[in-house]
Protein backbone atom coordinates (compact mmCIF):
# COMPACT_ATOMS: atom_id res chain seq x y z
CA UNK A 1 0.00 0.00 0.00
CA UNK A 2 1.38 3.45 -0.87
CA UNK A 3 2.04 5.91 1.90
CA UNK A 4 -0.34 8.80 2.19
CA UNK A 5 1.07 12.02 3.52
CA UNK A 6 -1.26 14.59 4.93
CA UNK A 7 -0.50 18.04 6.18
CA UNK A 8 -2.78 20.27 8.19
CA UNK A 9 -4.32 23.04 6.14
CA UNK A 10 -4.19 26.17 8.26
CA UNK A 11 -4.71 29.80 7.46
CA UNK A 12 -1.77 31.24 5.61
CA UNK A 13 -0.30 33.91 7.83
CA UNK A 14 3.00 35.72 7.88
CA UNK A 15 4.59 37.92 10.50
CA UNK A 16 5.34 41.57 9.90
CA UNK A 17 9.13 42.08 9.85
CA UNK A 18 8.76 45.47 11.55
CA UNK A 19 6.38 44.88 14.45
CA UNK A 20 5.96 41.08 14.48
CA UNK A 21 2.17 41.09 14.18
CA UNK A 22 0.56 38.34 12.15
CA UNK A 23 -0.41 39.51 8.67
CA UNK A 24 -2.52 37.54 6.21
CA UNK A 25 -0.76 36.38 3.07
CA UNK A 26 -2.96 38.53 0.80
CA UNK A 27 -2.52 41.78 2.75
CA UNK A 28 -0.36 44.40 1.06
CA UNK A 29 0.75 45.98 4.34
CA UNK A 30 0.55 45.50 8.10
CA UNK A 31 -2.69 46.77 9.60
CA UNK A 32 -0.93 47.65 12.87
CA UNK A 33 2.21 49.53 11.88
CA UNK A 34 1.35 50.17 8.18
CA UNK A 35 4.73 48.94 6.95
Provide the pLDDT for residue 25. 81
Whole-number pLDDT of residue 31? 92
- For residue 26, the model assigns a pLDDT of 86
> What is the pLDDT at residue 18?
95
Each residue of 1-35: pLDDT tens digit?
A: 666 665 555 556 689 999 999 988 888 899 999 98
Rounded to two decimals, the pTM is: 0.53
24 forms beta bridges with 13
Amino acid sequence: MPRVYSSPMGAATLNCPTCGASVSSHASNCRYCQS
